[in-house]
Amino acid sequence: MMSRQAFLCSLGSLYLSLLFVFLLMDVYARPANNSALKEKPADSKDENEILPPDHLNGIKMEMDGHLNKEFHQEVFLGKEMEEFEEDSEPRKNRKKLMVIFSKVDINNDKKISAKEMQRWIMEKTDEHFQEAVEENKMHFRAVDPDGDGHVSWDEYKIKFLASKGFNEKEIAEKIRNNEELKIDEETQEVLDNLKDRWYQADNPPPDLLLNEEEFLSFLHPEHSRGMLKFMVKEIIRDLDQDGDKKLTLSEFISLPVGTVENQQAQDIDDDWVKDRRKEFEDVIDANRDGIVTMEELEEYMDPMNEYNALNEAKQMIAVADENQNHHLELEEILKYSEYFTGSKLMDYARNVHEEF
C-alpha cells in the first residue's frame, strides 16, 4: 500500500506535469507579437532578397549617411574581398595580393601609378554593378509571383510583410479586400519609406508597376541617376539641421556615434569625427567653401565618376607611399595590407623576398 508521503509526491509530480502541458498549450495558442497575422520569423536571407540594402558595395557613403568603412577594400579587391579573411593564412593572402598587384600594374614597371589605380577602381566598381544586376534578376523573380515581368506595390508589400513574419495568404487577402492591416509602428515606418522609393524608381509614365530595370533602381539606387538624386535628398534630409538643404561641417559630423563609456570608446568616437571631417574638407566640398550642396554630394556619391575614382586612387597611394614617389611598389602595398585588404600580413619584407 502506498504511503501518505509517496502519494503526496506522486500527486505533486502529476500537478507539475499538467501545469507544464497547460503552459505549452498557452504558448502555442497565442499569436506571436499579439497579431493574428504573424507567424514564425522569416529567414533573414529571404528578407534581404527584397529589402534594399543599407550597404551598397563600391559606394563611399551608406544610405544612412555613414561613411563606408570597407570602401577601400571593395574597390581594390572586388569579388576577391571575401577571400581575405582575418583567419586566412598570411602566406596565401600575400600571394593573392601579389597577383592583384600584377593586374593593376598594366605596364609592368613594378609600380602602380594613380592612373593605373583609377582604371582598376573603375573596373572593380563596374564589377560590383554587374553583380548587383545578376542578384537583382533572382530577387525580381522572388517578388513577381505571376511572372508577368512587372511588380505592383501591393505584390511587393505582401512579400515584404511575409519576410517580416506575417502570414502571406492572410495579408494578401486583406489587401485584396481593402481591409485594415494591423502592423506595428516600426514596420509601418519602413513601409512608408519604401513606398517613397518605389515611386521614385517608377519611371515615367508612372504606373506603380516596376519592371526588372526599375526594380534594380529601387534596390540599388546607385544604378540610376534619378534614384541617386533621391538618395542624396534622403541623406541631406537626415543631416540638415537648419533646413537650407545644404550641409555644413558641423552638420556632417553630427551623426550619433554611440555612448562614450571609456577612453577606448572616446578614441573610436574621435577617429570617427576625424574621418568624417577629412572626407568633408578634402573630398566632398569640391569648391572648399565650407558648404556641401546637393550637387556636390551627388557627384561624390556617383560611383562611376572618373574624377572621384582618380581622387580616390591618389588618396590610396598617399596612404602607403613611403618613398614619396607618387607610386605604389609591391613592398608598400604588402606593408599596408590591412588598409587595402583588411588583412594584416606579418613579416611582409622577409616574405616578399622569399617569394621572389
Residue 287 has pLDDT above 90, yes or no: yes
Residue 198 has pLDDT above 80, yes or no: yes
Q: Let me know: does 120 contact 104? Beta carbons within 8 Å.
A: yes
Sequence letter at residue 128: H
Rounded mean pLDDT, 72-93: 81
Q: Is 142 left (phi over 0), alpha (psi -120 to 50) or beta?
A: alpha
Integer CA distances (angstroms), 257 to 72, 182, 269, 276, in order: 21, 34, 6, 12
Cα–Cα distance between 55 and 73 in angstroms, integer? 14
pLDDT band at 202 (very low <50, low <70, confident <90, very high): very high
Integer CA distances (angstroms), 226 to 65, 231, 259, 271, in order: 18, 9, 36, 33
Strand partners, 151: 210
Measured in residues, the chain has a length of 356
Enumerate residues 6+ apart whose C-beta is below 8 A from 113: 326, 327
pLDDT for 53: 76
pLDDT digits (tens, 9 = 90+) for 288-306: 999 999 999 999 999 888 9
Sequence letter at residue 90: P
Position of cell 588583412?
A: 343
When comparing pLDDT for 106 and 257, which is higher?
Answer: 106
Average pLDDT, the chain: 80
> How many secondary structure helices (H) and strands (E) does the chain include?
17, 6
Q: Let me know: does 201 contact 224? Beta carbons within 8 Å.
A: yes
Rounded mean pLDDT, 98-114: 96
Residue 111 has pLDDT above 60, yes or no: yes
DSSP class per residue in 140-194: HHHH-TT-SS-EEHHHHHHHHHHHTTB-HHHHHHHHHTTPPP---HHHHHHHHHH
Rounded mean pLDDT, 97-119: 96
pLDDT band at 262 (very low <50, low <70, confident <90, very high): low
pLDDT for 86: 60
Sequence letter at residue 86: E
User: Which range is least confidently modeled, 42-56, 114-128, 147-161?
Assistant: 42-56
Sign, Cα dihedral of 177, 183, 187, 192: positive
Pairing mode, strands 151-152 and 209-210: antiparallel
pLDDT for 294: 95
Instruction: Please give the share of the chain, as a percent, with pLDDT higher than 90.
Output: 44
Rounded mean pLDDT, 260-274: 64
pLDDT for 13: 47
pLDDT for 91: 83
φ, ψ at 146 (rounded to 5°): -90, -5
List the one residue out of 337, 297, 299 whose CA is nearest residue 316: 337
The cell for 159 is 512579400
Integer CA distances (angstroms), 103 to 110, 112, 114, 124, 281, in order: 11, 10, 14, 12, 32
Q: Which of 8-22, 80-94, 123-137 has the highest mean pLDDT?
A: 123-137
Cα–Cα distance between 247 and 239 in angstroms, integer? 7
pLDDT for 143: 87
Instruction: Please give the share of the chain, as a percent, with pLDDT higher than 70.
Output: 78
Q: Let me know: does 283 contact 249? Beta carbons within 8 Å.
A: no
Rounded mean pLDDT, 320-340: 94
Residue 54 has pLDDT above 80, yes or no: no
Residue 24 has pLDDT above 80, yes or no: no
